[in-house]
Structures are given as structure tokens and as C-alpha cells.
Amino acid sequence: MLESAKVAYIFPGQGAQKVGMGRDLYDNFDVSRAVFEEADRVLGFPLTRLCFEGPEDELRQTINAQPALVTVSFACLKAAQALGGDKMPAPVFVAGHSLGEYTALAAAGSLDFATAVYLARERGRLMHEAGQVNPGSMLAMIGADEKAVDDICRESGAWLANINCPGQLVISGAKENLAKAESLAVAKKVRAILLQVSGAFHTPLMQPASLGMADIVGRLTFGKPAVPVIANTTAEPLTDAEQIKAELLRQLCNSVQWQRSVEYMVNNGVSTFIEIGPGKVLTGLIKRINKNVNTLNMGDMNEIKAVFGG
């Protein structure tokens, strides 16, 4: 199946982290161990131990979860490439959900892993700090269409932050606006679930983080990606360094267009999506976007071996 398929690699975002993730990769693949060791060296603290041993509340913190997920997802990719060899198909597109866009850029060769994990740590730090300056949170809206959620946002003063799949959207805003949005959702018989995050991500309340990232990104060199990266904010390909820099700043304050990103890839021939990294959140979303595509997971050693018959 893989040899003849048009494949996209997709990488998860914050929320997929769990204590113990990546340990089997570290123990069994030299290339994965090297990724963890490089992360520890770049960041100057034992991120590897935090991934493997927790504590969970510390791993969940935005400043830690973001570099941890980039590290484990990239370690998964390296293990899959090592085990799969020629059987591991090259992607025609790569994409990542929110934070996962950084792993996608590393997978596409636009930046090296050391730069990606450094940026993920700085992004997490800046987003946390922005959440302290402009306190807020996020609310998942289950079972509503985009128009209904747009109406709730307009009436409550919240923003539409993630368009994940039909019937699953996420809004962000200040806590008082989300409280109003939750009441409106109840009235419309929409299920609303408060997410455990430290700020109103993907809204203008993250502007301080965007300004901080602009200074950091402006000092770094990005390369042309070897494969198109589908942008979170436009659901269109990023093909050069300047587009990528602009996207990394824009995605902090604007909606993640995940459903449209998947639809773009399907409309351009992708028949198989490989979710690389912890969890199966993106696989679940894709199955609700298009039931006709194939999905595979490579989030640990057993899943990688299952794909290649190892």
C-alpha cells in the first residue's frame, strides 16, 4: 500500500504529550537516542528525563510540552526512517497541527532539529508569558457547525481558534468571554469543554508572543523546504523561507485551519496520512474529514514495527 500511495506526514500539537513517551525509541534506536540527547544539549536541561519520568503536571506546562512533543515526534520520524528504509515513502506534503508545524518544518529540512526544538521552547515560554499578560483559555465546541460557532464568537467576544474537523471546533478568549460563550453554547445545545491550557492560543491575545517570536525568528536562517509544508493559517503550501517565517508569527494569533489543510492535501492527491508522534488525535480528525483516505500511526516502536512488518 505505502509503495504506491501519495503520502503526507502529519505531526501532533500540544495536548498529545504523556509521561513515558519516546522511551522505547530511546532504548531501541540510536538515531532516536541522538535526537533526545541533542534536545537536552540545546535546551540545557534534561528534557529526556521529563518525557520519560514526568511529573505529569510539569510535562503538561506549555514551556515544556512544546519542545517535548517536537523531540518525541522527530525521534519517531528518525526511527521510522531507520527501520523502514526504502519502504518508508517520501511525503508529497508535510503538515503539523499548531506546534506540530515546527516538527513538519524540521521534517521538510527547512530548519534543523536543534533549531526546531529551541524555537518550540521559546514559543512555549512566550505563549505562557502572553497568557499571564492577557489571561484566557480555550473551549472545545462539539457538535456545532462553523456558522454556529462563528455566531457564538461574535456574541461573546471570543475567537475561533481551531477548525479541526466537522463538528469539532475550538474557540479562545478571555475567561469572561468564554463563560459567556459557554452559556450561549448551552442555549444552542452545543457541548462545550474547557481545555487545560495556559492562555487564549491562536487569538490576538497572543500578540506579545508574536512580537517576541519575531525578534527570535528574524535572527535565524530558514532553508527552502524539500517538500511543501501546508500552513496552519492559510491551508496552502509554504515553499520558501520568507513565507515560513511569516507563518510562524501569524499562526500564534490566527486560527488553525486543520480541516482545510487536510482537504487541500486530499484534493492534491494524498491518499495516505501518516501521523508521526504521540497519540492519535490527528488520525481521528482525518477520519471525520474524509472517510476514504488511509491513516497510519507511528507514535512508538510497536506502531512503527507494525507498519513495516517488523
| Same domain, yes or no: 115 and 217 | yes
Burial of 187 (0-12, 13-18, 19+ CB in 10 A): exposed
Burial of 269 (0-12, 13-18, 19+ CB in 10 A): exposed
| Boundary of a domain, candidates 162, 194, 226 | 194
- Do 147 and 287 share a domain, yes or no? no
SS3 144: coil
Give the cell for residue 213: 517570536
304 located within any domain: yes
Positions marked active-site:
98, 202
Q: Which of 110, 9, 119 is nearest to 70 (CA)?
A: 119
The pLDDT of residue 281: 96
| Residue 173, domain member (yes or no) | yes
The reported pTM is: 0.96
Which residue type does 16 have? Answer: A
Last residue of a domain, one of 124, 159, 194: 194
- So what's the pLDDT on residue 90? 95
- Considering the domain architecture, whether residues 21 and 100 belong to the same structural domain is answered as yes
Give the three cell numbers for residue 275: 501521523
DSSP category for residue 260: H
Does the residue 2 lie in any domain?
Answer: no
Q: Positive or negative, the Cα torsion across 260, 263, 268, 273? A: positive
206-247 residue pLDDT tens: 999 999 999 999 999 999 999 999 999 999 999 999 999 999
47-97: pLDDT as tens digits? 999 999 999 999 999 999 999 999 999 999 999 999 999 999 999 999 999
229 vs 73: CA distance, rounded Å: 16
Residue that is last in its domain, among 160, 194, 228 = 194
Read off the amino acid at residue 68. A
Domain count, the chain: 2
Judgement on whether residues 242 and 184 belong to the same structural domain of the protein: no
- Domain span at residue 274 reads 7-132+203-308
User: Quick one: cell of 99?
Assistant: 506546534
Q: Cα(226)–Cα(233) distance, rounded to whole angstroms?
A: 20
* Tens digit of each residue's pLDDT (9 = 90 or more) over 99-151: 999 999 999 999 999 999 999 999 999 999 999 999 999 999 999 999 999 99
| CA 233 to chain centroid | 13
- Amino acid in the structure at residue 51: C
